[in-house]
Amino acid sequence: MSALLHAFQLPSSKNLLGQVPQSTRCRRGRVMATAASAGAGDDGLRKGIAEFYDESSGVWERVWGEHMHHGFYDPHVQAAIADHRSAQIRMIEEALAFAAVPDDPKKKPKKIVDVGCGIGGSSRYLAKKYGAQCQGITLSPVQAQRAASLAAAQGLAEQASFQVADALEQPFPDEEFDLVWSMESGEHMPDKRKFVSELARVAAPGATIIIVTWCHRDLSPSEDSLKPDELKLLNKICNAYYLPAWCSAADYVNIAKSLSLQDIRTTDWSENVAPFWPAVIRSALTWTGFTSLLRSGWKTIKGALVMPLMIEGFKKDLIKFAVITCRKPE
Protein backbone atom coordinates (compact mmCIF):
# COMPACT_ATOMS: atom_id res chain seq x y z
CA MET A 1 0.00 0.00 0.00
CA SER A 2 1.95 2.96 -1.17
CA ALA A 3 -0.88 4.83 0.52
CA LEU A 4 0.63 3.90 3.86
CA LEU A 5 2.61 6.90 3.81
CA HIS A 6 -0.40 5.01 -0.41
CA ALA A 7 -15.10 -11.18 -6.04
CA PHE A 8 -17.20 -13.34 -6.40
CA GLN A 9 -21.05 -13.20 -6.56
CA LEU A 10 -22.01 -12.63 -2.97
CA PRO A 11 -25.07 -11.49 -1.05
CA SER A 12 -25.36 -8.07 0.52
CA SER A 13 -23.92 -7.37 3.95
CA LYS A 14 -23.28 -4.43 6.25
CA ASN A 15 -20.15 -3.53 8.11
CA LEU A 16 -19.51 -0.96 10.78
CA LEU A 17 -19.64 1.85 8.24
CA GLY A 18 -22.92 1.05 6.56
CA GLN A 19 -24.14 -0.58 3.36
CA VAL A 20 -21.43 -1.94 1.09
CA PRO A 21 -21.58 -1.52 -2.70
CA GLN A 22 -21.76 -4.67 -4.84
CA SER A 23 -18.31 -4.09 -6.29
CA THR A 24 -16.59 -4.21 -2.91
CA ARG A 25 -17.75 -7.66 -1.95
CA CYS A 26 -15.31 -10.47 -1.31
CA ARG A 27 -15.20 -14.09 -0.37
CA ARG A 28 -17.80 -16.51 0.89
CA GLY A 29 -20.73 -14.21 1.48
CA ARG A 30 -19.03 -11.75 3.82
CA VAL A 31 -17.61 -8.29 3.41
CA MET A 32 -14.16 -8.02 4.93
CA ALA A 33 -13.97 -4.24 5.39
CA THR A 34 -14.70 -1.11 3.41
CA ALA A 35 -13.87 2.56 3.55
CA ALA A 36 -16.60 5.09 4.17
CA SER A 37 -15.30 6.88 1.11
CA ALA A 38 -16.38 3.91 -0.99
CA GLY A 39 -19.96 4.39 0.14
CA ALA A 40 -20.48 7.03 -2.55
CA GLY A 41 -19.64 4.44 -5.18
CA ASP A 42 -16.62 3.64 -7.28
CA ASP A 43 -16.44 7.16 -8.75
CA GLY A 44 -16.14 8.64 -5.27
CA LEU A 45 -13.49 6.11 -4.36
CA ARG A 46 -11.45 6.84 -7.50
CA LYS A 47 -11.69 10.57 -6.81
CA GLY A 48 -10.57 10.08 -3.22
CA ILE A 49 -7.58 7.93 -4.25
CA ALA A 50 -6.50 10.44 -6.91
CA GLU A 51 -6.73 13.37 -4.50
CA PHE A 52 -4.90 11.47 -1.77
CA TYR A 53 -1.93 10.80 -4.06
CA ASP A 54 -2.05 14.23 -5.67
CA GLU A 55 -1.58 15.61 -2.17
CA SER A 56 0.82 13.10 -0.61
CA SER A 57 3.21 12.04 -3.39
CA GLY A 58 5.46 15.08 -3.05
CA VAL A 59 5.91 14.44 0.67
CA TRP A 60 6.82 10.83 0.03
CA GLU A 61 9.35 11.70 -2.66
CA ARG A 62 11.06 14.33 -0.53
CA VAL A 63 11.49 11.92 2.38
CA TRP A 64 11.71 8.47 0.74
CA GLY A 65 12.54 9.00 -2.92
CA GLU A 66 10.99 7.74 -6.13
CA HIS A 67 9.89 4.26 -5.00
CA MET A 68 6.47 4.59 -3.40
CA HIS A 69 6.43 1.22 -1.70
CA HIS A 70 7.88 -0.63 1.27
CA GLY A 71 11.36 -2.04 1.62
CA PHE A 72 12.32 -5.70 1.97
CA TYR A 73 14.45 -6.55 5.01
CA ASP A 74 16.04 -9.51 6.73
CA PRO A 75 14.03 -8.95 9.91
CA HIS A 76 16.46 -10.67 12.28
CA VAL A 77 19.59 -8.97 10.94
CA GLN A 78 19.71 -5.55 12.57
CA ALA A 79 22.51 -4.25 10.34
CA ALA A 80 20.34 -4.86 7.29
CA ILE A 81 17.64 -2.44 8.51
CA ALA A 82 19.61 0.77 8.07
CA ASP A 83 19.40 1.55 4.36
CA HIS A 84 15.72 1.94 3.61
CA ARG A 85 16.06 3.10 0.00
CA SER A 86 18.20 0.06 -0.81
CA ALA A 87 15.52 -2.06 0.84
CA GLN A 88 12.95 -0.61 -1.57
CA ILE A 89 15.09 -1.71 -4.51
CA ARG A 90 15.48 -5.10 -2.91
CA MET A 91 11.68 -5.38 -2.73
CA ILE A 92 11.54 -5.12 -6.51
CA GLU A 93 14.32 -7.68 -6.98
CA GLU A 94 12.82 -10.12 -4.48
CA ALA A 95 9.44 -9.95 -6.26
CA LEU A 96 11.08 -10.62 -9.63
CA ALA A 97 13.03 -13.53 -8.15
CA PHE A 98 9.96 -15.04 -6.49
CA ALA A 99 8.11 -14.89 -9.81
CA ALA A 100 11.16 -16.34 -11.62
CA VAL A 101 11.21 -13.55 -14.20
CA PRO A 102 14.11 -14.48 -16.51
CA ASP A 103 17.21 -12.34 -17.01
CA ASP A 104 18.15 -14.25 -20.15
CA PRO A 105 18.33 -11.70 -23.02
CA LYS A 106 16.22 -14.00 -25.19
CA LYS A 107 13.51 -14.48 -22.57
CA LYS A 108 13.51 -11.28 -20.52
CA PRO A 109 10.39 -9.08 -20.71
CA LYS A 110 10.29 -6.54 -23.51
CA LYS A 111 6.94 -4.85 -22.79
CA ILE A 112 5.87 -4.14 -19.21
CA VAL A 113 2.84 -2.50 -17.64
CA ASP A 114 3.09 -0.96 -14.15
CA VAL A 115 -0.45 -0.88 -12.73
CA GLY A 116 -0.71 1.76 -10.03
CA CYS A 117 2.69 3.19 -10.92
CA GLY A 118 3.00 6.01 -8.38
CA ILE A 119 5.68 8.41 -9.61
CA GLY A 120 7.12 5.68 -11.80
CA GLY A 121 9.92 4.24 -9.67
CA SER A 122 9.24 0.61 -10.60
CA SER A 123 8.59 1.50 -14.23
CA ARG A 124 11.93 3.20 -14.67
CA TYR A 125 13.80 0.52 -12.73
CA LEU A 126 12.30 -2.29 -14.80
CA ALA A 127 12.81 -0.39 -18.06
CA LYS A 128 16.51 0.02 -17.26
CA LYS A 129 16.98 -3.50 -15.91
CA TYR A 130 15.48 -5.25 -18.91
CA GLY A 131 15.94 -2.64 -21.64
CA ALA A 132 12.17 -2.85 -21.96
CA GLN A 133 9.31 -0.55 -22.86
CA CYS A 134 7.26 0.17 -19.74
CA GLN A 135 3.89 1.88 -19.51
CA GLY A 136 2.62 3.07 -16.12
CA ILE A 137 -0.91 3.98 -15.14
CA THR A 138 -2.19 5.87 -12.09
CA LEU A 139 -5.35 7.68 -11.05
CA SER A 140 -3.30 10.71 -9.97
CA PRO A 141 -2.53 13.39 -12.58
CA VAL A 142 0.19 14.75 -10.27
CA GLN A 143 1.88 11.34 -10.17
CA ALA A 144 1.67 10.80 -13.93
CA GLN A 145 3.21 14.20 -14.64
CA ARG A 146 5.99 13.73 -12.09
CA ALA A 147 6.72 10.20 -13.35
CA ALA A 148 7.15 11.51 -16.89
CA SER A 149 9.41 14.34 -15.70
CA LEU A 150 11.65 11.91 -13.82
CA ALA A 151 11.81 9.59 -16.83
CA ALA A 152 12.94 12.48 -19.02
CA ALA A 153 15.51 13.59 -16.45
CA GLN A 154 16.92 10.05 -16.31
CA GLY A 155 17.08 9.68 -20.09
CA LEU A 156 14.22 7.18 -20.14
CA ALA A 157 11.50 9.18 -21.88
CA GLU A 158 11.58 6.78 -24.86
CA GLN A 159 11.32 3.70 -22.62
CA ALA A 160 8.95 4.69 -19.82
CA SER A 161 5.63 6.48 -20.40
CA PHE A 162 2.81 7.31 -18.02
CA GLN A 163 -0.85 8.20 -18.18
CA VAL A 164 -3.91 8.67 -15.99
CA ALA A 165 -6.04 5.56 -16.27
CA ASP A 166 -8.18 3.17 -14.24
CA ALA A 167 -6.63 -0.22 -13.46
CA LEU A 168 -10.08 -1.80 -13.83
CA GLU A 169 -10.45 -0.43 -17.38
CA GLN A 170 -6.93 -0.32 -18.74
CA PRO A 171 -6.42 1.57 -22.04
CA PHE A 172 -4.38 -1.22 -23.62
CA PRO A 173 -5.12 -3.92 -26.19
CA ASP A 174 -5.50 -7.55 -25.21
CA GLU A 175 -2.28 -9.56 -24.75
CA GLU A 176 -0.04 -6.49 -24.91
CA PHE A 177 2.56 -7.11 -22.16
CA ASP A 178 4.90 -9.94 -21.23
CA LEU A 179 5.30 -8.68 -17.63
CA VAL A 180 2.33 -7.31 -15.70
CA TRP A 181 3.42 -5.57 -12.51
CA SER A 182 1.32 -4.27 -9.61
CA MET A 183 3.24 -3.06 -6.55
CA GLU A 184 1.03 -2.08 -3.59
CA SER A 185 -1.98 -0.97 -5.62
CA GLY A 186 -4.33 -3.96 -5.43
CA GLU A 187 -5.62 -2.89 -2.03
CA HIS A 188 -7.23 0.16 -3.67
CA MET A 189 -9.27 -1.92 -6.13
CA PRO A 190 -12.99 -2.08 -5.29
CA ASP A 191 -13.53 -5.21 -7.43
CA LYS A 192 -10.67 -7.65 -6.94
CA ARG A 193 -11.93 -10.10 -9.55
CA LYS A 194 -12.18 -7.40 -12.21
CA PHE A 195 -8.72 -6.18 -11.20
CA VAL A 196 -7.11 -9.57 -11.74
CA SER A 197 -9.18 -10.10 -14.90
CA GLU A 198 -7.75 -6.88 -16.38
CA LEU A 199 -4.22 -7.91 -15.46
CA ALA A 200 -4.83 -11.21 -17.24
CA ARG A 201 -6.46 -9.53 -20.25
CA VAL A 202 -3.48 -7.30 -21.03
CA ALA A 203 -0.98 -10.12 -20.37
CA ALA A 204 0.45 -11.83 -23.44
CA PRO A 205 0.38 -15.64 -23.63
CA GLY A 206 3.06 -16.93 -21.27
CA ALA A 207 3.36 -13.55 -19.51
CA THR A 208 4.14 -13.29 -15.81
CA ILE A 209 1.74 -11.42 -13.52
CA ILE A 210 3.07 -10.10 -10.19
CA ILE A 211 0.77 -8.67 -7.53
CA VAL A 212 2.34 -7.31 -4.33
CA THR A 213 -0.44 -6.13 -2.07
CA TRP A 214 -1.86 -5.76 1.42
CA CYS A 215 -4.33 -8.43 2.51
CA HIS A 216 -6.00 -9.60 5.67
CA ARG A 217 -5.27 -13.02 7.11
CA ASP A 218 -6.72 -16.11 5.47
CA LEU A 219 -9.94 -17.30 7.06
CA SER A 220 -10.01 -20.70 8.69
CA PRO A 221 -12.41 -23.34 7.30
CA SER A 222 -14.79 -22.65 10.19
CA GLU A 223 -14.93 -18.88 9.62
CA ASP A 224 -17.31 -16.96 7.38
CA SER A 225 -15.77 -13.57 8.11
CA LEU A 226 -13.20 -11.77 10.21
CA LYS A 227 -13.94 -11.04 13.84
CA PRO A 228 -15.81 -7.82 14.71
CA ASP A 229 -12.75 -6.25 16.34
CA GLU A 230 -10.67 -7.08 13.27
CA LEU A 231 -13.23 -5.47 10.98
CA LYS A 232 -13.31 -2.40 13.20
CA LEU A 233 -9.54 -1.99 12.97
CA LEU A 234 -9.50 -2.44 9.19
CA ASN A 235 -12.31 0.07 8.74
CA LYS A 236 -10.31 2.75 10.57
CA ILE A 237 -7.40 2.13 8.21
CA CYS A 238 -9.70 2.14 5.17
CA ASN A 239 -11.08 5.56 6.07
CA ALA A 240 -7.62 7.10 6.11
CA TYR A 241 -6.22 5.46 2.97
CA TYR A 242 -9.24 5.32 0.62
CA LEU A 243 -9.46 1.55 0.60
CA PRO A 244 -12.49 -0.56 -0.29
CA ALA A 245 -12.88 -4.21 0.71
CA TRP A 246 -9.87 -6.08 1.99
CA CYS A 247 -9.44 -9.67 0.94
CA SER A 248 -7.00 -12.47 1.68
CA ALA A 249 -4.20 -13.96 -0.37
CA ALA A 250 -6.36 -17.07 -0.63
CA ASP A 251 -9.05 -14.96 -2.34
CA TYR A 252 -6.51 -13.86 -4.95
CA VAL A 253 -5.48 -17.46 -5.52
CA ASN A 254 -9.12 -18.49 -6.03
CA ILE A 255 -9.68 -15.65 -8.49
CA ALA A 256 -6.54 -16.60 -10.44
CA LYS A 257 -7.68 -20.23 -10.59
CA SER A 258 -11.12 -19.19 -11.82
CA LEU A 259 -9.42 -17.29 -14.67
CA SER A 260 -7.40 -20.39 -15.63
CA LEU A 261 -4.09 -18.72 -14.79
CA GLN A 262 -1.19 -21.08 -14.19
CA ASP A 263 1.81 -21.49 -11.88
CA ILE A 264 -0.02 -19.65 -9.10
CA ARG A 265 2.20 -19.01 -6.09
CA THR A 266 1.85 -16.86 -3.00
CA THR A 267 3.98 -15.90 -0.02
CA ASP A 268 3.71 -13.71 3.07
CA TRP A 269 6.42 -11.05 3.46
CA SER A 270 4.87 -9.29 6.46
CA GLU A 271 7.92 -9.78 8.66
CA ASN A 272 10.18 -8.61 5.84
CA VAL A 273 8.42 -5.23 5.54
CA ALA A 274 7.66 -4.64 9.24
CA PRO A 275 10.83 -2.57 9.89
CA PHE A 276 9.62 0.00 7.37
CA TRP A 277 6.66 1.16 9.47
CA PRO A 278 8.63 2.44 12.48
CA ALA A 279 11.05 4.08 10.05
CA VAL A 280 8.19 5.99 8.41
CA ILE A 281 6.88 7.10 11.79
CA ARG A 282 10.36 8.29 12.76
CA SER A 283 10.66 10.17 9.47
CA ALA A 284 7.49 12.10 10.30
CA LEU A 285 9.16 13.31 13.48
CA THR A 286 12.12 14.83 11.64
CA TRP A 287 12.02 18.50 10.69
CA THR A 288 11.77 17.68 6.97
CA GLY A 289 9.07 15.10 7.53
CA PHE A 290 7.05 17.20 9.97
CA THR A 291 7.08 20.38 7.88
CA SER A 292 6.32 18.40 4.71
CA LEU A 293 3.29 16.83 6.37
CA LEU A 294 2.00 20.19 7.53
CA ARG A 295 2.29 21.61 4.01
CA SER A 296 0.72 18.61 2.34
CA GLY A 297 -2.82 18.77 3.71
CA TRP A 298 -5.27 16.91 5.91
CA LYS A 299 -5.55 13.72 3.82
CA THR A 300 -1.83 13.05 4.17
CA ILE A 301 -1.79 13.94 7.86
CA LYS A 302 -4.72 11.61 8.53
CA GLY A 303 -2.90 8.80 6.76
CA ALA A 304 0.22 9.37 8.86
CA LEU A 305 -1.81 9.29 12.08
CA VAL A 306 -3.24 5.89 11.18
CA MET A 307 0.17 4.30 10.63
CA PRO A 308 0.30 2.82 14.17
CA LEU A 309 -2.88 0.90 13.37
CA MET A 310 -1.03 -0.91 10.58
CA ILE A 311 1.57 -1.97 13.12
CA GLU A 312 -1.20 -3.10 15.47
CA GLY A 313 -2.81 -5.15 12.70
CA PHE A 314 0.50 -6.81 11.91
CA LYS A 315 1.17 -7.65 15.55
CA LYS A 316 -2.29 -9.19 15.81
CA ASP A 317 -1.56 -11.36 12.74
CA LEU A 318 -4.46 -9.67 10.92
CA ILE A 319 -2.65 -7.66 8.23
CA LYS A 320 -0.48 -9.47 5.71
CA PHE A 321 1.91 -8.25 3.05
CA ALA A 322 1.21 -10.76 0.29
CA VAL A 323 2.86 -11.59 -3.01
CA ILE A 324 0.82 -13.43 -5.62
CA THR A 325 2.41 -14.49 -8.90
CA CYS A 326 0.99 -16.44 -11.81
CA ARG A 327 1.38 -16.94 -15.53
CA LYS A 328 -1.03 -16.64 -18.43
CA PRO A 329 -1.29 -19.87 -20.43
CA GLU A 330 0.55 -19.90 -23.74
- Helix/strand/coil for 5: coil
Q: Where are the domains of the chain?
A: 2-327
155: CB partners within 8 A, 6+ apart? none
DSSP 27: T
Is the CATH number of domain 2-327 3.40.50.150?
yes
Sign, CA torsion 295/300/306/310: negative
* Rounded Cα–Cα distance for residues 183 and 204 (Å): 19
The contacts found for 291-298 with CB under 8 angstroms, 24 or more apart, are 292/58, 292/59, 292/62, 292/63, 293/59, 295/59, 296/55, 296/56, 296/58, 296/59, 297/55
* Backbone phi and psi for residue 12, each to the nearest 5 degrees, phi listed first: -70, 155
* Rounded Cα–Cα distance for residues 259 and 90 (Å): 30
| Predicted pLDDT of residue 292 | 57
* Rounded Cα–Cα distance for residues 121 and 136 (Å): 10
| Predicted pLDDT of residue 36 | 37
What pTM was computed for the model? 0.84
* Rounded Cα–Cα distance for residues 33 and 17 (Å): 9
- Helix/strand/coil for 155: coil
| Predicted pLDDT of residue 305 | 65
| Predicted pLDDT of residue 6 | 37
pLDDT digits (tens), the chain, 330 positions:
543 333 222 222 222 222 233 333 344 333 333 333 333 468 888 898 888 888 878 877 877 789 989 999 987 765 555 678 889 999 999 999 999 999 888 899 999 999 999 999 999 999 999 999 999 999 999 999 999 999 999 999 999 999 999 999 999 999 999 999 999 999 999 999 999 999 999 999 999 999 999 999 999 999 999 999 999 999 988 887 788 989 999 999 999 999 999 999 999 999 999 888 777 666 656 656 556 555 665 555 565 667 788 889 999 999 999 999 999 999
| Length of the chain counted residue by residue | 330
